[in-house]
Amino acid sequence: MKKKIFSSSYNFVKINKKYYVPIILKTVIMALTVLFLMPAIFAAELLSPQAATAAEKSVIVTFYPLYVHTLNICGDKIKTEILLPPGVSIHDFNCKPSDMKKIADANLMIVNGASLDDFALKIARNYTDLKIADASYGVELISSDGAACEHAGHNHAHHNEDAAKNGEELYDPHTWLSMKNAVIQVNNILNALCEIDTENAEYYKQNAAQYIKKIQYTHKRMAEKLSPFKGSKFIVFHGSFAYFARDYGLTQDSIADVFGNAPKPSKIKEIYDTIKKENIKFLVSEPGYQNKEIKALSEQYSLEIIEVDPMGLYKPSGDIKNYYIDVSNSNADILASAFKKTGDKTNK
């Protein structure tokens, strides 16, 4: 059996597939499908060309921050669905038949890449006509142990899955938490939308430009708030804020690793030593994690606990299109306030 080949072109991910349906059965199925679909085909021809084109285009996005980016670009010009339901972590998601139908009906799937949503790529292998866009194409990745990786400009989908098999270095997949990365991701999504819907390309470009201006303005404000604390360290449970920290000259330390795996006893001891040595005054918890270790450390050292949101879970309320910007800005406010409250300019 020939091995399936995974390759990339620009920010699109292409998976070559081999079919195993017997040719006769496949032909019969195709004939029956055409027979039953003929009425729908004739009805579609009665629509205007613009309406028919719009009806044919559909996008599926794996999780919420990228879904928000996509909505800001495409408006109502293309049907946009999200795979991950509210309140479910992408690490715990199980695909249902209804989710597979969304994927089957889509022209384009937008993934974060950096192996955050490999589960979706595995499902997408079954659909030959589905284009897949890696939103993190071109992002300078950070390794799972916090070091920079020299892979900017590469397609990052499936990396951690392949690297784990080969014993290679793994990437931190939380690329979206950087406002600088968000601009790259918006441009990648824009390029993918323009390719599948050339008719509305100019509309998408105008929307993307306006949205990027909002992101850049918010990033500037966040940098101003956090600049007095440059060089400061904060401790989180799940190591998801390395890209955010890099943007503003901060340092993240975490109890669990970037994949949320339970810490080893040696890591707990290391965190204890860091708290005492570097005069840490607060700890960071996150929605979706019990943070038992955070609570224990807080009680032992009388440390305040603050909560910042890595956007892994979401509640669809308010102005959805401003969700990413609002949460990013709120995270900066919460961290700046906590640093300021310590009485020092830094939390080193």
Of 45-49, 83-87, 124-128, 336-340, the range with the lowest mean pLDDT is 45-49
Q: How confident is the model at residue 344 (pLDDT cuts 50, 70, 90)?
A: low
Q: Mutual orientation of helices 323-341 and 201-226 as an angle, nearest 10°? A: 10
Q: Which residue has the higher pLDDT, 167 or 237?
A: 237
Per-residue pLDDT at 289:
72
In angstroms, the CA 277 to CA 296 distance is: 18
Residue carrying the six token digits 């909560």: 307
Q: Tens digits of per-residue pLDDT, 48-93? A: 344 444 457 899 999 999 999 999 999 999 999 999 988 888 877 8
Per-residue pLDDT at 275:
92
Would you say residue 269 has pLDDT above 70?
Answer: yes
Per-residue pLDDT at 199:
95
Q: What is the largest CA-CA distance in the chain?
A: 76
Q: Which residue has the higher pLDDT, 166 or 95?
A: 95
Closest CA to 142 of 242, 260, 228: 242
On whether the CB atoms of residues 155 and 8 are closer than 8 A, the answer is yes
Per-residue pLDDT at 167:
42
Would you say residue 102 has pLDDT above 60?
Answer: yes
Chain-wide mean pLDDT for the chain? 80
User: Average pLDDT in the 256-277 region?
Assistant: 85
Would you say residue 143 has pLDDT above 50?
Answer: yes
| Alpha-carbon separation of residue 316 from 25, 182, 204 (angstroms) | 44, 20, 23
On whether the CB atoms of residues 139 and 152 are closer than 8 A, the answer is yes
Would you say residue 256 has pLDDT above 50?
Answer: yes
Q: Which residue has the higher pLDDT, 8 or 175?
A: 175
Residue ranges and CATH numbers for the domains of the chain are 6-218 (3.40.50.1980), 222-341 (3.40.50.1980)
Q: How confident is the model at residue 166 (pLDDT cuts 50, 70, 90)?
A: very low
Angle (CA) 201 206 208, round 5°: 90
pTM reported for the whole predicted model: 0.80
Q: Which amino acid is at 227?
A: S
Per-residue pLDDT at 343:
62
Would you say residue 252 has pLDDT above 80?
Answer: yes
Would you say residue 45 has pLDDT above 90?
Answer: no
Q: How confident is the model at residue 149 (pLDDT cuts 50, 70, 90)?
A: very low
Would you say residue 158 has pLDDT above 60?
Answer: no
Would you say residue 154 has pLDDT above 80?
Answer: no
Q: How confident is the model at residue 13 (pLDDT cuts 50, 70, 90)?
A: low
